[in-house]
Structure formats: structure tokens, C-alpha cells
Amino acid sequence: MSPLLVRLGLPALLPVALFALITWQVVADGPLLRGDERISRALVRPDRDAELLADLGNVEVAVPVLAVALAYVVWRGRAAGADRWWWPAVAGAVLMVLVPALVVPLKEFTDRPGTPAVPPATGYYPSGHTVTAVVAYGTAALFLLPLLRSVAGRRVLVGGCAALVLGVSFGLVRRGYHWPLDVVAGWCLGAVLLVGLRAAAGGSSAGRGGGRPK
């Protein structure tokens, strides 16, 4: 078996299985949805703070943050003479294109209604804002990590990325934009994309933050 498939398959197994389970429950109107609705009713309190947190998952916010991070990584790689200094920019762009390419058909297929806090409509599963946040902030962190020398700096970066994703997730549920399971499915889908990025970057010198000098 290809080493790439091994690196991709094992870490992605859990999020893929969880995503499949949740999707099955959504399509079949299974018992998990009853608990999902109860949790939503307990958490929904639409306010300005929740809306601001949810907005961190907007393309207009997350993508510019990713672009700035990748521009810095590319600049560092090119300055260091990395063979594939352009790799982070290409990988980031491909992943962000994959987000709507995957999310939109899934929304149409599941056709899940929204919460009572939003106008009547369908197509809320999975949460595209959650996937956007996971992929954008996660990709930025994956490429920035090798450039940080201190353990403290790496912890701050990972913690900041996790805080942004959790903030978006909480804001989406608190504001009533999404059911909790929509958000969990977004985590799973985003995690699979990041695992794929990590697997591909494992064989790339640029993905490790450096590369052989020319």
C-alpha cells in the first residue's frame, strides 16, 4: 500500500466514520436528531456576541487570514531557497476550493431544515462555516508550525487555531444558525481535508517548512 494512503487512511478513519453516522441519522431522521434538537433549544440565545463569533467562519474573514499566513510561509520558503516554495499557496487554494465543492452537494443531498431561529429553509447540513473555519485556520497553523522554534510559540498557535474554530462553532449554535450536529459534521469534514493536506505535505519539503537550498 502507498505510504500516502497509509498516512491518509488511518488518521481519517474516525472522522469519516463519525461523519457517515451523523449523515445517516440526518437522512433517516434518526434518534440522534432528537437529542440534537434538545441541545439546540438549550443553547440557542441569539445575541450580538454569538453573531460575531459565527462571522469568524465567513469566507470574507477566514480566507484573508489564511492568505496572509500562506503569503508569509511562501516568502520564508522562497527566501530560504526551498525547491517548492509555492506549495503552501497552491495547497491552501485547492483546499478552499474543495470546501464548497464538497459541502454544497451534501447540503442538497441531506436537505436538512434549519433551526427555529432562522427563516424556514433547508440545506443546513453540514455547516459550511464550520468547514471553512477548520480548513482555513487549520491550514494556516499546519504551515506556520514548522517555522516556529519554541514550544510555547507552537502551543499558542495551535491553541489560537482551536479557539477560533471552537468560537465559530459555539457562535453558530448559540445564534441558531446551525444545529449542533451540523457543526460536528463540519469538524469531521474539515478534519478529513486537513489529514489529506498533512499526508500530501509529508512528502513535500515545503510542507515541512523548509526544503533543500538551491
Interval 162-180: pLDDT, tens:
999 999 999 999 999 999 9
> Residue 185: is its pLDDT beyond 90?
yes
* pLDDT grade for 212, boundaries at 50, 70 and 90: very low
* pLDDT grade for 186, boundaries at 50, 70 and 90: very high
Alpha carbon 179 to chain centroid distance? Answer: 17
Interval 114-152: pLDDT, tens:
999 999 999 999 999 999 999 999 999 999 999 999 999
* pLDDT grade for 213, boundaries at 50, 70 and 90: very low
Exposure of 140 in the CB half-sphere (CA atoms within 13 A): 23
> Residue 204: is its pLDDT beyond 70?
no
Does 1.20.144 match the CATH number of domain 3-208?
A: yes
* pLDDT grade for 203, boundaries at 50, 70 and 90: low
Residue 75's Cβ-count burial label (10 Å; 0-12, 13-18, 19+) is exposed
Spatial distance between the Cα atoms of 49 and 184, rounded to a whole number of angstroms: 21
Whose grid coordinates read 478552499?
96
**DSSP codes, 86-154:** THHHHHHHHHHHHHHHHHHHHHHHH--B--TTS-S-B--SS-HHHHHHHHHHHHHHHHHGGG--SHHHH
Q: Taking the domains of the chain in order of start, what are their residue ranges?
A: 3-208
